[in-house]
Amino acid sequence: MAVGEHRPTRLVIDRQALRHNIQTEVKRLKSDCELFMVVKANGYGHGAAQVAQAAKDAGATGFCVAILDEALELRAAGFDEPILVLGVTRPEDAVLMAQARVSTVVADLKWLQEASRYLELTHHNRPLNVHLGLDTGMGRIGFRTTDDLKAALNFLGVKVDDFNFEGIFTHFSTADDPDDTYFKQQVAKWQELTAVLPFRPRYVHVSNSATSLWHAACNDNMVRFGVAGYGLNPSGTAIPETPYPLRPAMQLVSELVYTKRLHAGESVSYGATYTAQTDEWIGTVPIGYADGYERRLQGFHVLVGGQFCEIVGRVCMDQLMIRLPQNYVRGTKVTLVGANGGQQITLQDVADYCGTIHYEIACGFTSRLPRHYLN
C-alpha cells in the first residue's frame, strides 16, 4: 500500500511521551527486573523500529513481538537486544531463529521434538533460545499440567545442544479487572506448575502492562511492557487510576480540503443517510476506512478550531464529511485524535464510540497513513 505523503493526513508520534512512559516504569521496577518493550503489530500502530529505539533509550533491555517476521524486521533495523516471539512459530524455522538469536515460545512437547529434528539436520552453531509458555487460565497456548511440563523439561535436559531453556512465562487475562478473583486463581496455577522446575531459567515473566501497573508484586525478573508504554490505560476506563500519568504518544491529524454551503434538504455521502435540516457548512477531510478510520464513526466528531464537529453521512473509503460551525479556509487543521484548541479526543473516546478497545483502533490504522515523529 502506498504511503500518503502527498496528503495532509498523518499520524504524529511523540517519542518523548514513549520515553516518559517507559522510563517511569523502569524506575518502578526492582533492580533485578528487566523491561522488554512489546512492539508487535508495528508497535501497536506507532512504528516498530521507532518505538524500539525510544524504548531502548528509555531503559528497555529487550523486545517482544508476535510473529517471527517482526523479530527479523528488528534485527534488520540493527537491534541486537534479546527478542522474544510471543506467538507459536513453525518448527521448521528453528534454525533461522537460532541463527538470528531470536527466542521463541514453546507451547507443547511435540513442537520441541519437531524443531529438534530440523536443528539436528543442520550444523547450527548455537542452540535455540526457548521460553516455555504456561496456560494458567488464559486458554490460548501453553502447558496446562505438571506432567506435560515435566516431559518438556526432561526433553530440554537431554537436548542441551539444540535448545537453551531461557525463560518461562504465563499471561494473565484479567489483570486489568478491578475484581482480582480470577487473577488470583491464575497466580495459584502458576505457582503449582512452576513448583516442578528443576531450576529457574534466565527470564521468569508473568507481567504485561496491567499486571506491572496494578499487581507489581508478581513481576519477577522481567516485564512485558505493552500498551501502557504507548500511554494508554490497559483497562480502558475500568481502573482509571494508574501509578503515574500515562502520556498518549499518538495523534491523528488532517486538514480541510474542501468546504461548501449545504442547503436544507440536501444530503451527504453514500445512502443519503444525512440530510441537512437547515443551511450549514460542510467540510471534507481526506481520510476514510481504508486508512483504518472506521466506517461506523458516522455521528462521532473531530476537532476544528477547538470545536467539536460532527461526522455527517457515512465515512467513505478515502474521505469523510463534517458539519462546521462556520466556513473555514482550505488547509485548516482537523484533529481526529489528540488535542486541538484546548479540547481533546482520545483513542479511548474513539474506541468507546465504536464499541471496542483502544488497542484495536491504534493497530487498525493502515500503512497508507504516514507516521511522523516528534522529539
CB under 8 A, 24+ apart: contacts of 179-187: 180/215, 182/137, 183/215, 185/137, 186/136, 186/137, 186/138, 187/136, 187/218
Confidence of residue 27 (pLDDT cuts 50, 70, 90): very high
- Cα dihedral: 348, 71, 206, 220 (round 10): -120
- Residue 178 is predicted with a pLDDT of 96
Q: How far apart are CA 77 and CA 37, in angstroms?
A: 16
- Residue 121 is predicted with a pLDDT of 85
What is the edge-to-edge ordering of all strands in the sheet holding 128-133? 203-205, 163-169, 128-133, 102-106, 83-88, 62-65, 34-38, 222-225
15-230 placed in CATH 3.20.20.10: yes
Confidence of residue 51 (pLDDT cuts 50, 70, 90): very high
C-alpha cell recorded at residue 47: 512504528
- Residue 122 is predicted with a pLDDT of 83
228 with 175: CB under 8 angstroms?
no
Query: Is 90 exceeded by the pLDDT of residue 302?
Result: yes
Cα angle: 24, vertex 11, 290; to 5 degrees: 130
C-alpha cell recorded at residue 65: 513481538
Q: What residues form DSSP beta bridges with 255? A: 333
Question: Which is the CATH superfamily of the domain at 250-356?
Answer: Lyase, Ornithine Decarboxylase; Chain A, domain 1 (2.40.37.10)
- Cα dihedral: 344, 346, 348, 353 (round 10): 70
- Within the chain, strands assigned E span 10-14, 34-38, 62-65, 83-88, 102-106, 128-133, 163-169, 203-205, 222-225, 250-255, 258-262, 267-268, 274-275, 280-285, 301-304, 307-312, 320-324, 333-340, 343-345, 371-374
- Residue 125 is predicted with a pLDDT of 79
The phi-psi region of residue 306 (left if phi > 0; otherwise alpha if psi is between -120 and 50; otherwise beta) is left
Residue range 71-98, pLDDT digits in tens: 999 999 999 999 999 999 999 999 999 9
Kindly list the catalytic residues.
40, 270
DSSP letters, 110-164, are HHHHHHHHHHHTTT-SSPEEEEEEB-SSS-SSSB-SHHHHHHHHHHHHH-TTTEE
How are beta strands 83-88 and 62-65 bridged, if at all? Answer: parallel
Average pLDDT for 276-287? 98
Distances (CA, A) of 230 to 71, 138, 181, 202: 19, 23, 28, 27
Average pLDDT for 6-13? 98
- Residue 22 is predicted with a pLDDT of 98
Residue range 207-218, pLDDT digits in tens: 999 999 999 999
Note whether 15-230 and 250-356 share their fold: no
Residue range 342-375, pLDDT digits in tens: 999 999 999 999 999 999 999 999 999 999 999 9
257 with 282: CB under 8 angstroms?
no
Domain ranges of the chain: 15-230, 250-356
Is 140 labelled a binding residue?
yes
Distances (CA, A) of 172 to 158, 164, 175, 181: 31, 25, 6, 12
Average pLDDT for 167-187? 97
With a CB cutoff of 8 Å and minimum separation 6, the contacts of 76 are none
C-alpha cell recorded at residue 205: 515473566
Query: Is 90 exceeded by the pLDDT of residue 123?
Result: no
Q: Name the burial class of residue 152, with classes exposed (0-12), middle (13-18) and buried (19+) by CB atoms within 10 angstroms of its CB.
A: buried
